[in-house]
Structure 1
Amino acid sequence: MDKNEMEQLIAKYLNKELTDAEASDLKHWLEKDKVNRQVFENIVGQWHLSQEEVAASKVRVLQRIQTNQQVPTSTKTLPARSWFSSYGYRVAAVLLLGLGLALVGLLKSEWWRANDVATAVYVEKEAVLGQKLSFQLPDGSIVKLNAGSKLKYPSAFKGKNRDVQLTGEAFFDVARDEDHPFRIASNGVMVQVLGTSFNVRSYPDEQDVAVAVKTGKVAVSGIETKNRVTLEPAQMATYSLADQSINKKTIEANDPSVFGWVDKHLVFRDENFDVVLTQLSRWYGVEFKVEQKKNMGKRFTANFKNPSLVKVMESVSFVYGFNYKINGNRVTIY
């Protein structure tokens, strides 16, 4: 493998774009020579640095090389093997670090230019607990954020992809652009589309990431794995964070339990008590204090249209047989 091929493979590795065949080639190259692995580890270890930090590190490397090249003041002659293991090995290690840093600078600068990362200004929108937020992205796509969710995106899409990062739940109505796929990264899952409407649910305290399509077509894959499914309208993919598997199923068209929140429908479908309280906490921005649990084995199903907290609590308390008290943003169950 020549130098250019090696650089391309490492660049793809850093950007998580290796194919199975390329991953095998990279593994073979790493196992071929320990020097290869040292260079690779230096590059990967420095990848998180900024361009300025890489440049500063390269200066420090050169200074260390110059320091090591000074003639030893001791008149004692070292055996050849001892000299290599002490002085020569140190210089070699520093040179390897320098090579790694130089390659990092090259790869990062090329990758940054290709994706316009260096000049990108990012915007972050957040819907706090008890709030929902609608806004338009620079490409004309419409996003609706559910409570307790964040979306990070560039102020202008300039690269080959339109990349955003999601925490929580959002509904996307993506403006079609076949030359620039729209990609959402969220909790180890990558969702890619050209133009469609769909829902992504990916809260940090939940064990699964769910993607459901309303119109168009969506590809869902694990960022660290090769698992991938394609979804069409009325289909949902659930990605398990535990084993990184993806399950695909058919749902109702415009399923209210999936898409209902966009139109202010609070929907529960055979949910347990803890899930009900979690969803109510996000929806209304309240904190629950449970002093006594009753009938916890029951499941709760309901569909409310833009309800007040009192209206929902009346239904939930009837099913589970408890009393409650609302005091500001605190709900006590007893």
Structure 2
Amino acid sequence: MDITKFRKKLERYLKGTANETESAIVEAWYKSYQDAEEAEIGSENKETVKNAIRQKIHKTTTTPVIKLKWRNYSVAAGLLLVSGIALFFIKNRGQATSEDIYTTLQTKAGEVKQIVLPDSSVMWVNSLSKVRIPAAFNGSIRNILLDDGEVFLKVKHNDAKPFRVNTHTLQVQVLGTSFNVKAYASIKHTSVAVATGKVAVSTAGKRLSFLTPGQELVFDEKTKAFKQNNIDISATQGWKDGETYLTQANFDELSLIVKNMFGLKLKAASKAVEQYQFTLRLKRNMPADDALKIISLIHNTHFRREGDEVVLY
């Protein structure tokens, strides 16, 4: 934890000027020690503990940071600050806190997985995806981490505990709805599409938009710009049922789909082929050569297959 940055978040939180993301971080931190308090401290001391944590927060936000000469001293000072607060609520050294413990789920080419999350929400994970899932949602926000790939979620409604999907660039937050998040690193943009309910999309603590059913937001990771479109949501989530729809997709997007569905690396033989756009529907259970023939027909091209590599020319 960066102590200086966290101290500033605490200060803004107490002043009421923290943004949504900062408030969630502070509240999740505070909640973790609240849970420890419930388990370890009797009800007669409850108010005393609450006052103590407020005093410690106040002390953390008002005490100047002393810059020490040696790096290892700075690290030690940071650890002592965090440890001192934590030990106030945890009597026995080494006792577990209520922080979420994540498990990584990865899918292979041609593989789509459906899982039930700890809150009974349902998540579909597309091919060649990597997502981190907690064993239990212990904090004030139900968090999952989409490191790479695509997921579709049907989130169980909970007014008291928002649900958030975190990608490298976006935070997607809901109370209870169904939506799709696509964040493959190879295509350099992240998209969010809403099937039901309302979804808030933010980046670096800044709200970009609220999306409603049939709307999609596409965020460009290079330019940090975004656009919002009206879409056919059934096409966006078709992949979980074995069908993928592409509409004016560029070559990189097509290559990603071919790799996901068939485990093949699609390459362009020329710059001209790289500039083509593709509109088509592919089924996961169709033979790879049939899919490649369909792709070739769109621009009257040919393909050459060498092992797991395919050259379009």
TM-score w.r.t. the length of structure 1 is 0.66
Structure 2 match to 1:149:
129
Output the amino acid matched with 1:198.
F
Structure 1 match to 2:297:
318
Ranges in structure 1 where 5+ consecutive residues have no aligned partner:
1-6, 24-32, 47-56, 58-93
Output the amino acid matched with 1:228.
L
- In the alignment, the residues of structure 1 paired with residue 268 and residue 14 of structure 2 have an alpha-carbon distance, to the nearest angstrom, of 49
Structure 1 match to 2:282:
304
- In the alignment, the residues of structure 2 paired with residue 272 and residue 191 of structure 1 have an alpha-carbon distance, to the nearest angstrom, of 25
Residue 235 (1) aligns with residue 263 (2): no
After TM superposition, give the deviation of residue 331 of structure 1 in Å. 2.8
CA deviation vs aligned residue, 1:150-183 (integer Å, no higher than 9, x gap): 1111111222111110121110011112211111
Output the amino acid matched with 2:255.
L
Structure 2 match to 1:264:
242
After TM superposition, give the deviation of residue 8 of structure 1 in Å. 11
- In the alignment, the residues of structure 2 paired with residue 194 and residue 292 of structure 1 have an alpha-carbon distance, to the nearest angstrom, of 47
Structure 2 match to 1:209:
190
Residue 10 (1) aligns with residue 6 (2): yes
After TM superposition, give the deviation of residue 294 of structure 1 in Å. 6.3
Q: Percent identity?
A: 27
- In the alignment, the residues of structure 2 paired with residue 186 and residue 110 of structure 1 have an alpha-carbon distance, to the nearest angstrom, of 34
Question: Aligned pair in 2 of structure 1 residues 278, 22: CA closer, same or farther (>3 Å)?
Answer: closer
After TM superposition, give the deviation of residue 238 of structure 1 in Å. 2.1
CA deviation vs aligned residue, 1:290-312 (integer Å, no higher than 9, x gap): 55676554422112344332222
Question: Aligned pair in 2 of structure 1 residues 182, 279: CA closer, same or farther (>3 Å)?
Answer: same
After TM superposition, give the deviation of residue 229 of structure 1 in Å. 1.7
- In the alignment, the residues of structure 1 paired with residue 131 and residue 149 of structure 2 have an alpha-carbon distance, to the nearest angstrom, of 9
Residue 277 (1) aligns with residue 277 (2): no
Larger-Rg structure: 1
Please say if residues 191 and 218 of structure 2, whose CA atoms lie closer than 8 Å, have aligned partners that are also in contact. Answer: yes
For CA contacts below 8 A with separation 6 or more, give which structure has more relative contact order: 2
- In the alignment, the residues of structure 2 paired with residue 128 and residue 320 of structure 1 have an alpha-carbon distance, to the nearest angstrom, of 30
Q: How many aligned positions are there? A: 263
Question: Aligned pair in 2 of structure 1 residues 138, 243: CA closer, same or farther (>3 Å)?
Answer: same
Please say if residues 115 and 158 of structure 1, whose CA atoms lie closer than 8 Å, have aligned partners that are also in contact. Answer: no
Output the amino acid matched with 1:217.
K
Quick check: 290-299 or 174-183, which moved more?
A: 290-299
- In the alignment, the residues of structure 2 paired with residue 98 and residue 310 of structure 1 have an alpha-carbon distance, to the nearest angstrom, of 59
Secondary structure in structure 1 of the residue aligned to 2:238 = helix
The residue correspondences of 1:149-168 to structure 2 (distance < 5 A) are 149-166=129-146, 167-168=148-149
Secondary structure in structure 1 of the residue aligned to 2:185 = coil
Ranges in structure 2 where 5+ consecutive residues have no aligned partner:
20-61
Question: Aligned pair in 2 of structure 1 residues 317, 19: CA closer, same or farther (>3 Å)?
Answer: farther
Residue 102 (1) aligns with residue 130 (2): no
Question: Aligned pair in 2 of structure 1 residues 322, 156: CA closer, same or farther (>3 Å)?
Answer: same
Please say if residues 267 and 304 of structure 1, whose CA atoms lie closer than 8 Å, have aligned partners that are also in contact. Answer: yes
Structure 2 match to 1:83:
none
Q: 2:98 aligns with which of 103, 113, 116?
A: 116
Output the amino acid matched with 1:104.
V
After TM superposition, give the deviation of residue 22 of structure 1 in Å. 5.2
Structure 2 match to 1:36:
64
- In the alignment, the residues of structure 2 paired with residue 232 and residue 123 of structure 1 have an alpha-carbon distance, to the nearest angstrom, of 31
Alpha-carbon RMSD: 3.8
